Amino acid sequence: MNLYELYEIADENAINVDYFPMRQAVSISIPDSIAIDIDKIETCREEKAVLAHELGHCMTGSFYTISTIDNRGRMEERANRWAIKTLLPFSKLNEAVVSGIYETYDLADYFELPELFIKTALNYYLNCCGLTFNHNSLTKV
């Protein structure tokens, strides 16, 4: 998925994406709105990962407030999982690995994503979901 397609998802779901300078945050989301400090983003890869994460909050309704801060980790995880499944479906990752692309930096180049995003996705699929790379089909351990 490319950056343009992410903006289309936002548009199709009436999620406003605006650009604001922020003191510390790179991005924030509230229901139906995302704010991004574009000056803190150096590459299109980073923008893609940031936007997907914030869309993950909006698409899954995973928001928290000061009074519900104890749920923050769970809400962040939901947003991350949506971003991972959207930008890097396991079937595509499996195809790349089976074809010989397996170093995280090579996968980052191949999928045009930050290496940290690739590492997070690998951890999710392999450790949380129990999936393994397979030439024939997806399997669970």
Query: pLDDT tens-digit profile of 107-122?
Result: 999 999 999 999 999 9
Q: What pTM does this model have?
A: 0.91
> What is the share, in percent, of the chain residues with pLDDT greater than 90?
86
Say yes or no to pLDDT of 18 above 90.
yes
| 74: nearest Cα among 64, 66, 83, 65 | 64
Q: DSSP strand E in 1-141: where? A: 16-19, 27-30, 33-36, 131-132, 139-140
Q: Three-state SS for 8?
A: helix
Q: Are 61 and 84 in contact (CB under 8 A)?
A: no
For residue 141, what pLDDT band results from cuts at 50, 70 and 90? very low
Query: pLDDT tens-digit profile of 44-97?
Result: 999 999 999 999 999 999 998 777 777 889 999 999 999 999 999 999 999 999
For residue 136, what pLDDT band results from cuts at 50, 70 and 90? low
Distance, in Å, from the CA atom of 1 to the CA atom of 21, rounded to the nearest integer, reads 27
DSSP structure string for 39-64:
GG--SHHHHHHHHHHHHHHHHHT---
Distance, in Å, from the CA atom of 80 to the CA atom of 6, rounded to the nearest integer, reads 14
What DSSP character marks residue 32? T
